[in-house]
């Protein structure tokens, strides 16, 4: 859909003008939304209208926008009478934290592996990339479930397991970029200057590769977020009393027919964050394209 | 041969083509460069001159032969010593823009050798970089610019500054002006000549244009299909070229000046046709396919060895060497060049 708009804008500059200007500036709406999310994660107390943990049997399962003695519940309440909106805000921190940390670890591993494979080629290349492919061939989500159910669910183990889902993607992209960068004369110039291999990799290859994986990084945060939500939903991820959006969705599921908002609203929130990340990544893509 | 900055003996470099066919890019080449001397290396594209330079700096591996670089035998160096040695033998590249990291600014690029070899503190480094920029004629305000923001000539000046900042003994210039506009070439060549005189650095100067080499070099070597066909002091080579290929090249550079038509005919006769493929080199003399003097025996059978022409008595570095079976019989071209630069 968006690609269609893009082509139209290119083909008919005059007619596509309004759409193009929306494309040009629309990204900041998503950026602003993500900033709000970051604020929710940083200082949830400022935004929470109610204490998210306070139970109140008198206001159980209120629908969104309903008013109780305490005030208006924007997103309704759950079966124990806790304010859902406040819980969603409280869950932001852990949700984002797990996604960002896990993606960063996965990206770091993938970048290192991809640079080594691409720069050295030959046997290291084949070994490392086969390893990645072998792992991609396995249903990692199932392996993650297995691991988490064996080791017992915990946030730490989640952060160790989730990167395994994403590192091969980073490794593949970085390897391809490194193959290209390796042929550049400035790499030969660096070697001729007397740079060590790590110096070449980290001062010359890495800075020329990183801008091109920025897009991937942002997209993968969304993926990892969904994976975490899935694992938490299945009960092998984050455990109460910790709260993440995935866990809220899981908690609401048995009541789907009675109180739809308990699953739908955290789900929509999650969806919008992932969408925003994707929209922002497109913006990065344009920026990286312009810089190259 | 003591005190030579670079001494190459019987160097052989073999590569594999993309479809795996082996070929010999450099075939038994020898050369010597003394301190402060400028050696011009000319030849057509693909004759192995860049490969020779890269092998001499061990940027590319070689199969046999000996290279002594700044008094050290390359075969005896381990990785660490080689890296330390590289401080003293930098390289200037053909593609000025491509040789500069696009994510670094000018100051960082020029200062990198200092940083890599830990030669100066942060403050000191910046001062040295600015000093170097002035020396190569780069305005001070370019310090924070990225390579893409510079003109081609400025980019090559950055490359030159980077090469000279560590006070090298030998600078390898791989066609440093080939990618530049003609109007910029003279500036860069004059800069290099000026720096050579001021800094007492030896240069290995590669070009495919004899005219470019003529202004800068003390000695000139002519390569053809992986072999050195002639080597001589610059005046000698231009006044008395012995190898038919060199004669053709020398005639070619000045055909526009005088006796244009005659010279063109001479060029046509001496260097007719195309260079043969390295994948399928002719047996015997590499130049036989284009040479008007070639005979079946020995030219098509035996590879000519380098022979010393007159002037050998003057000493090693004055020698004029030519690899041709018939050099003594070949008539001097009707129109030789006046000596001089």
Nearest Cβ partner for A193 among B102, B103, B116 = B116
Distance CA B185, CA B173 (A): 14
Average pLDDT value over all residues in chain B: 84
From the list B92, B88, B82, B90, the residue with the least C-alpha distance to B70 is: B88
From the list B298, B301, B295, the residue with the least C-alpha distance to B282 is: B301
The β-bridge partners of B42 are B207, B222
- State the CATH number of the domain containing residue B44: 3.40.50.300
Instruction: Please check whether residue B234 lies inside any domain of the structure.
Output: no
Residues B263 and B187 occupy one common structural domain: no
Quote the pLDDT of residue B310: 64
pLDDT digits (tens, 9 = 90+) for B104-127: 999 999 999 999 998 888 889 999
Residues B247 and B335 occupy one common structural domain: yes
> CB of B87 within 8 Å of any CB in chain A?
yes
pLDDT digits (tens, 9 = 90+) for B53-72: 999 999 988 998 889 998 88
Mode of pairing for the β-strands spanning B38-42 and A72-73: unpaired
Residues B340 and B254 occupy one common structural domain: yes
Distance CA A251, CA A254 (A): 7
Q: What are phi and psi of B64, to 5 degrees?
A: -150, 170
Residues B248 and B322 occupy one common structural domain: yes
Q: Which of B51, B60, B96, B103 to mutate to test the interface with A (most CBs of A within 10 A)?
A: B103
Instruction: Please check whether residue B244 lies inside any domain of the structure.
Output: yes
Burial class (CB in 10 A: 0-12, 13-18, 19+), B110: buried
Contact A199 B116 (CB under 8 A): yes
Instruction: Please check whether residue B232 lies inside any domain of the structure.
Output: no
Number of domains in chain B: 3
Mean pLDDT, range B189-202, rounded to an integer: 89
Residues B80 and B111 occupy one common structural domain: no
Its domain, for residue B262, covers 240-341
Contact A208 B103 (CB under 8 A): yes
Contact A158, A238 (CB under 8 A): yes
The answer, yes or no, to whether residue B221 has pLDDT greater than 80, is yes
Mean pLDDT, range A9-14, rounded to an integer: 43
In the structure encoding, which two tokens stand for residue B179, read together?
Answer: 């990618």
Instruction: Please check whether residue B251 lies inside any domain of the structure.
Output: yes
Contact B90 A184 (CB under 8 A): no
From the list B75, B85, B94, the residue with the least C-alpha distance to A193 is: B85
The β-bridge partners of A282 are none
pLDDT digits (tens, 9 = 90+) for A224-233: 888 888 888 8
The answer, yes or no, to whether residue A13 has pLDDT greater than 80, is no
- Say if pTM beats, i.e. exceeds, 0.80: no
Residues B187 and B312 occupy one common structural domain: no
- Cβ atoms within 10 Å, residue B201: 23
Last residue of a domain, one of B151, B167, B183: B167
Element holding B39 (H helix, E strand): strand B38-42
Contact B101 A188 (CB under 8 A): no
> CB of A288 within 8 Å of any CB in chain B?
no
Mode of pairing for the β-strands spanning B170-174 and B91-92: parallel
Nearest CA distance, A205 vs chain B (angstrom)? 9
Nearest CA distance, A101 vs chain B (angstrom)? 27
Element holding B221 (H helix, E strand): strand B219-224
The answer, yes or no, to whether residue A15 has pLDDT greater than 60, is no
Contact A48, A37 (CB under 8 A): no
Nearest CA distance, B241 vs chain A (angstrom)? 34
Instruction: Please check whether residue B183 lies inside any domain of the structure.
Output: yes
Which residues on A lie below 8 Å from B59 (Cβ)? 188, 191-192
Burial class (CB in 10 A: 0-12, 13-18, 19+), B3: exposed
The answer, yes or no, to whether residue B341 has pLDDT greater than 50, is no
Residues B27 and B73 occupy one common structural domain: yes
* Closest chain B residue to A211, measured at CA: B103
Eight-state DSSP code of residue A201: I
Contact A194 B102 (CB under 8 A): no
> CB of B61 within 8 Å of any CB in chain A?
no
> CB of A207 within 8 Å of any CB in chain B?
yes
The answer, yes or no, to whether residue B129 has pLDDT greater than 60, is yes
Instruction: Please check whether residue B225 lies inside any domain of the structure.
Output: no
pLDDT digits (tens, 9 = 90+) for A153-206: 888 888 888 898 889 999 999 999 999 999 999 999 999 998 999 999 999 999
Residues B185 and B294 occupy one common structural domain: no
Average pLDDT value over all residues in chain A: 82
ipTM: 0.83
Peptide bond into A241 cis (omega under 30): yes
Alpha helices of B136-243 — where are they, by DSSP H? 152-164, 182-199, 210-216, 234-239
Instruction: Please check whether residue B192 lies inside any domain of the structure.
Output: yes
Residues B63 and B189 occupy one common structural domain: yes
Question: If you write DSSP's letter for every residue of B191-208 in order, what string do you get?
Answer: HHHHHHHHHT-EEEEEES
Contact A257, A2 (CB under 8 A): no
Instruction: Please check whether residue B302 lies inside any domain of the structure.
Output: yes
Residues 107-126 of B with CB under 8 A from A: 112-113, 116-117
Residues B69 and B11 occupy one common structural domain: yes
> CB of B59 within 8 Å of any CB in chain A?
yes
Residues B67 and B209 occupy one common structural domain: yes
Which own/partner contact pairs does B145-149 have at CB distance under 8 Å and 24+ positions apart? B145/B105, B145/B106, B146/B102, B146/B103, B146/B104, B146/B105, B146/B106, B147/B97, B147/B100, B147/B101, B147/B102, B147/B104, B147/B106, B147/B109, B148/B97, B148/B102
Burial class (CB in 10 A: 0-12, 13-18, 19+), B141: exposed
Local confidence band at A17 (pLDDT 50, 70, 90 cut-offs): very low
Residues B85 and B182 occupy one common structural domain: yes
The answer, yes or no, to whether residue B316 has pLDDT greater than 60, is no
Contact B98 A184 (CB under 8 A): yes
* Residue that the structure tokens 């792992």 belong to: A135
From the list B115, B86, B110, the residue with the least C-alpha distance to B99 is: B110
Distance CA B242, CA B130 (A): 47
Quote the pLDDT of residue B170: 92
Quote the pLDDT of residue A223: 86
pLDDT digits (tens, 9 = 90+) for A26-65: 788 888 999 999 988 888 888 877 777 777 777 777 777 7
Local confidence band at A151 (pLDDT 50, 70, 90 cut-offs): confident
């Amino acid at each position: 859909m968006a690609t269609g708009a893009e082509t139209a804008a290119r083909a008919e500059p005059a007619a596509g003008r309004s759409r193009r200007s929306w494309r040009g500036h629309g990204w900041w709406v998503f950026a602003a939304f993500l900033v709000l999310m970051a604020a929710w994660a940083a200082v949830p107390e400022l935004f929470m209208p109610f204490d998210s943990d306070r139970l109140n049997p008198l206001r159980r399962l209120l629908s969104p926008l309903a008013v109780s003695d305490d005030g208006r519940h924007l997103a309704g309440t759950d079966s124990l009478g806790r304010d859902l909106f406040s819980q969603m805000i409280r869950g932001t921190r852990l949700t984002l934290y797990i996604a960002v940390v896990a993606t960063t670890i996965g990206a770091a591993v993938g970048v290192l592996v991809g640079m080594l494979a691409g720069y050295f080629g030959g046997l290291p290349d084949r070994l490392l990339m086969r390893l990645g492919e072998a792992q991609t061939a396995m249903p990692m989500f199932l392996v993650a479930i297995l691991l988490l159910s064996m080791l017992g669910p915990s946030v730490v183990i989640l952060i160790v397991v989730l990167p395994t889902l994403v590192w091969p993607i980073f490794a593949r992209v970085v390897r391809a970029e490194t193959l290209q960068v390796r042929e550049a004369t400035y790499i030969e110039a660096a070697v001729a200057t007397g740079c060590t291999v790590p110096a070449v990799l980290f001062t010359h290859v890495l800075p020329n590769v990183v801008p091109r994986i920025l897009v991937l990084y942002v997209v993968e945060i969304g993926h990892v977020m969904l994976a975490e939500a899935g694992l938490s939903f299945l009960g092998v991820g984050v455990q109460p009393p910790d709260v993440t959006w995935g866990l809220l969705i899981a908690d609401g599921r048995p009541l789907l027919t009675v109180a739809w908002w308990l699953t739908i609203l955290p789900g929509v929130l999650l969806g919008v964050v992932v969408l925003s990340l994707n929209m922002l990544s497109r913006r990065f893509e344009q920026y990286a394209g312009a810089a190259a | 041969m003591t005190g030579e900055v670079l001494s190459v003996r019987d160097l052989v470099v073999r590569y594999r083509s993309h479809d795996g066919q082996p070929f010999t890019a450099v075939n038994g080449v020898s050369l010597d460069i003394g301190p402060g001397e400028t050696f011009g290396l000319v030849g057509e594209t693909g004759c192995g001159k860049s490969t020779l330079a890269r092998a001499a700096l061990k940027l590319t591996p070689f199969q046999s032969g000996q290279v002594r670089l700044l008094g050290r035998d390359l075969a005896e160096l381990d990785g660490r010593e080689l890296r330390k040695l590289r401080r003293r033998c930098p390289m200037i590249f053909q593609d000025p823009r491509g040789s500069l990291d696009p994510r670094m600014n000018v100051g960082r690029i020029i200062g990198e050798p200092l940083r890599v070899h830990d030669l100066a503190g942060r403050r000191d480094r910046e001062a040295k970089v600015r000093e170097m920029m002035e020396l190569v004629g780069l305005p001070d305000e370019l310090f924070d610019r990225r390579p893409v923001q510079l003109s081609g000539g400025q980019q090559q000046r950055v490359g030159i500054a980077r090469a000279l900042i560590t006070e090298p003994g030998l600078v390898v210039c791989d066609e440093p002006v080939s990618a530049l506009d003609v109007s910029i070439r003279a500036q860069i060549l004059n800069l290099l000549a000026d720096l050579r005189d001021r800094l007492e650095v030896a240069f290995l100067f590669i070009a495919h244009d004899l005219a470019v080499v003529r202004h800068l070099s003390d000695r000139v070597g002519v390569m053809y299909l992986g072999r050195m066909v002639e080597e001589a002091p610059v005046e000698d080579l231009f006044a008395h070229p012995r190898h038919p290929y060199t004669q053709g090249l020398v005639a070619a550079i000045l055909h526009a000046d005088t006796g244009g038509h005659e010279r063109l005919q001479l060029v046509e006769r001496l260097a007719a046709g195309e260079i043969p493929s390295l994948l399928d080199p002719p047996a015997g003399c590499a130049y036989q396919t284009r040479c008007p003097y070639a005979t079946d025996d020995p030219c098509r059978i035996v590879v000519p060895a380098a022979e010393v022409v007159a002037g050998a008595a003057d000493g090693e570095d004055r020698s004029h060497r030519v690899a041709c079976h018939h050099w003594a019989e070949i008539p001097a071209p009707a129109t030789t060049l006046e000596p001089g630069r």
